[in-house]
Amino acid sequence: MAENTHLQELESLRDAAIQELESIPDESGLEAWRVEYLGRSGKLTQVLRGVSTLPADARPVIGAAGNKVKVALEGRLGERQAAIVNARLDSLADDAIDISLPGRSLAVGRLHPSTIILREITEIFRGMGFQVVEGPEVELDRYNFEALNIPKDHPARDMFDTFWIDANKDAEGRFTTLLRTHTSPMQARIMEAHEPPIRVVVPGKVYRYEATDATHESQFYQVEGLAVDKGITFANLKHTLHEFARRMFGSERKMRFRCDYFPFVEPGVDVSIDCFNCDGTDSSCRICRGAGWLEIMGAGMVHPNVLRNVGYDPEVYSGFAFGMGPERIAMLKYGIEDVRLFYGNDMRFLRQF
């Protein structure tokens, strides 16, 4: 009687296991099924263990039937495993990649012309022994003007149309923070923090609240230069800038120095390069307007007051400084007729570099 019950129990276990197996979709499900039925504490193993408690004559019958179920379930498990693997291979074949198709090209980025020219400029000065440093674009009045010999209410402030930041005011209610109008504030910051000898160039963005035209933008780059040591003269400045122009434009371009006024240098000059576009022959030339020259920088000998403001003794130290416009230099070098192209984001222009 017990024998029959056990045989029925084995059969229904087998049927339930097989039914469950057929609906398992993947290999992790198969493993769970194997543990449930065939594992060490699995359902079939439990039944087989119970054989020892049966009467002696029933043991071989139930034992043999149990093993038969075990072999049958293992066989079905193998078949189901193969079916799942085959189904996966078939689906891979459906999505097959056609490796004979031509590849899709990725858009390659490129450097902005301002970046290209900035790198060229700084490399030239690096080659002449200058260090490259950078400074803040949001600047204090103290560095942008006062340390540079431009006190409050000095008329030279009109040279720099300023974007003020309305967050901070002094006791008299005047704004103290601005977007730097030139890179010259870094002269004062560098001299405050270091003793001579100093030879640095400072590339960076500057901002001016002014109307734009073919040679004027309201946001542009400058590269400041500063050399301070004992015995620096105007001849050192001229030689350095001539050497820069030779390396940047080649020896066929001409450089012109004219007296100019900047409160932070004495004497001061502006420096121009002859116009690539018209050689001064076209009064309607968009670049030089017929002048034959394009101004690329201001320069001069650091004013004694600026040296004093940072705690240097002007009787001991002297220096030269310059501030150039990289976009204007790129215009001359690459024949670009309008500075506004640099920030116009016109891909037809940008793709040419």
When asked if residue 299 is in the footprint of ligand FA5 (CB under 6 A), the reply is yes
When asked if residue 325 is in the footprint of ligand FA5 (CB under 6 A), the reply is yes
- What's the closest the beta carbon of residue 321 comes to ligand FA5, in angstroms? 4
- What's the closest the beta carbon of residue 192 comes to ligand FA5, in angstroms? 17
Angle at 53 between CA 47 and CA 56, to 5 degrees: 110
**What is the dihedral sign for C-alpha 247, 249, 253, 256?**
negative
- What's the closest the beta carbon of residue 288 comes to ligand FA5, in angstroms? 13
Cα distance between residue 218 and residue 211, in whole Å: 7
- What's the closest the beta carbon of residue 199 comes to ligand FA5, in angstroms? 14
Please, which residues have CB within 8 angstroms of residue 94's CB and are 6 or more apart in sequence?
none
* Interacting span for ligand FA5 (CB under 6 A) from 22-30, 50-58, 134-142, 296-304: 296-304
Interface mask (CB under 6 A) for ligand FA5, residues 226-265, using x and -? ------------------------------------x--x
Closer CB to ligand FA5, 39 or 163, in the complex? 163
Closer CB to ligand FA5, 73 or 149, in the complex? 149
When asked if residue 298 is in the footprint of ligand FA5 (CB under 6 A), the reply is yes
Kindly tell me which residue out of 37, 130, 207, 220 binds ligand FA5, with binding defined by CB under 6 A.
Answer: 220
When asked if residue 184 is in the footprint of ligand FA5 (CB under 6 A), the reply is yes
Quick check: 349 and 298 in contact, CB under 8 A?
A: no
When asked if residue 321 is in the footprint of ligand FA5 (CB under 6 A), the reply is yes
- What's the closest the beta carbon of residue 108 comes to ligand FA5, in angstroms? 29
When asked if residue 295 is in the footprint of ligand FA5 (CB under 6 A), the reply is yes
- What's the closest the beta carbon of residue 278 comes to ligand FA5, in angstroms? 19
Structure token pair of residue 263? 């409160």
Strand 219-229, strand 318-324: pairing = antiparallel
- What's the closest the beta carbon of residue 246 comes to ligand FA5, in angstroms? 18
Q: How far apart are the first and last CA of the chain?
A: 95
Kindly tell me which residue out of 327, 330, 336, 341 binds ligand FA5, with binding defined by CB under 6 A.
Answer: 327
* Interacting span for ligand FA5 (CB under 6 A) from 38-46, 60-68, 70-78, 318-326: 318-326
Q: Distance between alpha carbon 199 and the CA centroid of its chain, in Å?
A: 28
* Interacting span for ligand FA5 (CB under 6 A) from 59-67, 90-98, 228-236, 322-330: 322-330
Kindly tell me which residue out of 323, 331, 336, 341 binds ligand FA5, with binding defined by CB under 6 A.
Answer: 323
Kindly tell me which residue out of 69, 217, 307, 336 binds ligand FA5, with binding defined by CB under 6 A.
Answer: 217
Structure token pair of residue 13? 């276990």
- What's the closest the beta carbon of residue 323 comes to ligand FA5, in angstroms? 3
Closer CB to ligand FA5, 227 or 339, in the complex? 339
Burial (Cβ within 10 Å: 0-12, 13-18, ≥19) of residue 52: exposed
Peptide bond into 197 cis (omega under 30): yes
Q: Is 278 left (phi over 0), alpha (psi -120 to 50) or beta?
A: alpha
Q: Which of residues 141-160 bind ligand FA5 (CB under 6 A)?
A: none
Given the rule CB under 6 A, which residues bind ligand FA5?
182, 184, 208, 210, 216-217, 220, 222, 262, 265, 268, 295-300, 321-325, 327-328, 339
